[in-house]
Homo-oligomer: A and B are copies of this chain.
Amino acid sequence: MTDMSVNTLKAISTKELLINAAVRQFHHKGFQKTRISDIVGEAGVAQGTFYLYFKSKEEIFKNICTEHMNLFQKVFQETEILFGGKNIDEIRGNIHRFLKKLLAVYKENLHVSELLFREGVGHNDLFKEINEKFFMEFITLIREHMRRDIPSARFRLTDVETVSVFLFGVFERSAFYFMMIQKQFDTQRLAEQMAHFMLNGLQLNITK
């Protein structure tokens, strides 16, 4: 009987094999130093097979990054209220919960996260595009949530545009620093401190 298997044990396609191999190799050696031959070697297919699925090393990289960005987007989409709440504690709780989720995604896909932030933007059009897209999408998502959750009257001294960049900076550089450089940290505590800092920075702690 050829029924491949009772349920969801799906055979891994060659394309998936290549993507998985590429993630591992990019993580191990970095994008620049990874040769196509490393990827196909890891995937266990022939050199030419790579070109059946991707035009170049750039393309498979883009593929991987785009997929990854979607994970972050999903966290934003699944979050009903981010910067709002009935009182300070609830607001802080919301921010905190959100940041924990974000950090978790970051951590669970550390390999790819690292790729996205470590691999330079350079002047390489590919990286420039990917990296700027990521940056833009991220702050746009933050901005939308801010507009939705915070009365605009709040923003007397600062504008939403700028502040969303600040928040992104706090999150992204911290994630990068603690996960990539320090390599040891307490997610729970980091999220707490971040929430605290953001709450104050945005002055959401002040009674109306």
Q: Does A136 contact B (CB under 8 A)?
A: yes
Give A206 Cβ to nearest chain B Cβ, in Å: 9
Encode A166-208 as 1/0 by CB contact (under 8 A) with B.
1011111110011001000000001011101110111100000
Q: Does A60 contact B (CB under 8 A)?
A: no
Encode A35-66 as 1/0 by CB contact (under 8 A) with B.
00000000000000000000000000000000
- Give the CA-CA distance A119 to B119 in the complex, in Å: 8
Write out the residue numbers on chain B whose beta carbons fall within 8 Å of the beta carbon of A139.
177
Write out the residue numbers on chain B whose beta carbons fall within 8 Å of the beta carbon of A174.
162, 165-166, 169
Copies in the complex: 4
Number of residues of chain A lying within 8 A (CB) of chain B? 49
Whether the Cβ atoms of A158 and B118 lie closer than 8 Å is no
Q: Does A123 contact B (CB under 8 A)?
A: yes
Interface residues of A in 136-173 (CB under 8 A from B): 136, 139, 157-159, 162-163, 165-166, 168-173
Write out the residue numbers on chain B whose beta carbons fall within 8 Å of the beta carbon of A169.
169-174
Q: Does A7 contact B (CB under 8 A)?
A: no
- For the complex of A and B, list the 8 residue pairs with the smallest distance between their C-beta atoms, beginning with the closest: A120-B120, A169-B173, A30-B123, A201-B201, A169-B169, A30-B122, A119-B120, A118-B121
Identify 25 residue pairs between A and B in the complex whose beta-carbon atoms are under 8 Å apart, listed by A's number: A27-B123, A33-B122, A117-B121, A118-B128, A119-B120, A119-B121, A119-B122, A120-B120, A139-B177, A158-B193, A159-B193, A165-B173, A165-B174, A165-B177, A165-B178, A166-B174, A166-B193, A166-B197, A169-B171, A169-B172, A169-B173, A197-B201, A198-B201, A200-B201, A201-B201
